Amino acid sequence: MTKRPRSEETLDTVLQGDGPAQTKQRVEGPLEASTDLTRILSWNVETPVPFLQLPTTQARSATTAGVTAGSNPSLLRDILRRHDYPDFVCLQEVRARHTDKQWIAALRLAANHGAHDSSPKYTLYHSLNKGTRGQRHFGVVTYAKEPHSVVATREVDWDAEGRVLILEMASGWALVNVYALNGSEYMWRDPLGRASPKTRNERKREFNRLLMEECRQMQKRGLRLVLIGDFNISLTKKDCYPRLRTEYPHGLARQEFREQFIPGLDVVDVFRELHPETKAYSWFAKGKPQGKDCARVDYALIERGLRDKVVGMVYLEDPEERGHSDHAPLLLTLRGMPAPGQGMDSTTVPGP
Please name which of 225, 221, 226 lies closest in space to residue 347, comparing C-alpha atoms.
221
CA pair distance 159, 210, nearest whole angstrom: 9
Q: Annotation-wise, does 72 bind a ligand? A: no
E strand spans, 5-157: 7-10, 13-18, 21-26, 30-31, 35-44, 88-92, 123-127, 140-144, 150-154
To the query of whether residue 230 is one of the catalytic residues in this protein, the response is yes
Q: Annotation-wise, does 327 bind a ligand? A: yes
Catalytic member of 125, 179, 241, 281: 179
CA pair distance 264, 261, nearest whole angstrom: 5
To the query of whether residue 345 is one of the catalytic residues in this protein, the response is no
Q: Helix, strand, or coil here: 8?
A: strand
Contact between residue 328 and residue 46 where contact means Cβ atoms under 8 Å apart? no
Q: Annotation-wise, does 232 bind a ligand? A: yes
Catalytic member of 98, 126, 324, 327: 327
Q: Annotation-wise, does 113 bind a ligand? A: no
To the query of whether residue 327 is one of the catalytic residues in this protein, the response is yes
Residue 230 has a CB neighbour count (10 Å cut-off) of 28
Q: Annotation-wise, does 44 bind a ligand? A: yes
Catalytic member of 87, 230, 239, 298: 230
* DSSP annotation string for 233-247: ---SGGGEES----S
- Cα dihedral sign for 162, 269, 311, 15? positive
Q: Residue positions in the annotated binding site for Mg(2+)?
A: 44, 93, 230, 232, 326-327
Query: Catalytic site residues?
Result: 179, 230, 327
